Each structure stands twice: as C-alpha cells, then as structure tokens.
Amino acid sequence: MSSPEIASLSWGHMKVKGCSSSYKDCKVWPGGSRAWDWRETGTDHRPGVQPADLEEVLRKGVELLVIGRGMSEALQVELSPRFKEKCHHGQFILIHLENSVDVLIKGNS
C-alpha cells in the first residue's frame, strides 16, 4: 500500500488526493492522512518536531519517514538518540517541504 498523493501544496495549504478536506499541516502514511495539530505535543519551529509526533506514523509501519521542514525550512528536528530510536525500524530523511512532496510522489510510482 502506498501513501496518498499530495494533490497541491502552497503556503499554509496542503491538499491530499482522495481527501475531502485540506490541511495546514498534515501527517500522511500508507492508507491515510490527518491534520497535524502541533499543540498536541508542543511542536513549534523551535524546539521542533517532537518524538511523540512521529509515533503515530511510525506505528503504521512506514519504511521511509519523510519529514518536511516547512516552506522556509524553519521547522527544527533534533536528531537525538531518542529520535533515532523511534525510527529504528526504517529510514528517515529531513527535507524541504516542497521536495518532500516530490519524494512521496516518486515513492508511490
């Protein structure tokens, strides 16, 4: 099963193919997607993505975790041992948001 394709992307707006709503920020995994509310775990540009943010997606069994750092690459990701431990069963890459969409689309081809 592949991840849903990102149909469109612009600042503060992301549309996932097959989903009736659009997102400001979202999590996408094989077979689904949902809004990513940074307040759930205390994510902000700094301190950045929290390990808890990744757990939901990692539980879906992803083989490659693509983390878009935002349009201006302001979203921080700390590569701490705890972060790496959360990703132990797969690979991960950090990438500019627009490029992460390209990776997801190519990965589904």
pTM for this entry = 0.75
More confident residue, 35 or 103: 35
Report d(CA 52, CA 57) in Å as an integer: 10
| Predicted local confidence at residue 45, as pLDDT | 93
pLDDT digits (tens, 9 = 90+) for 19-65: 998 999 999 988 899 999 999 999 999 988 888 888 888 888 877 77
pLDDT digits (tens, 9 = 90+) for 55-93: 888 888 877 778 888 888 898 887 666 666 656 555 566
Residue 86 in contact with residue 55, Cβ under 8 Å? Answer: yes
H or E element at residue 104: helix 97-108
Q: State the chain's mean pLDDT as an integer.
A: 79
